[in-house]
Amino acid sequence: MQPLTCQSCRRPAEASRLTYRRGTECVAREGLLQCDLCERFACADCLEVYDIFSGYDFLCHICAQIFLPARGSQRGH
Average pLDDT, the chain: 84
Distance CA 40, CA 37 (A): 8
Q: Pick the residue with more confidence: 10 or 56? A: 10
pLDDT digits (tens, 9 = 90+) for 8-24: 999 999 999 999 988 78
Alpha carbon dihedral 64, 29, 15, 24, in 10-degree steps, equals: 60
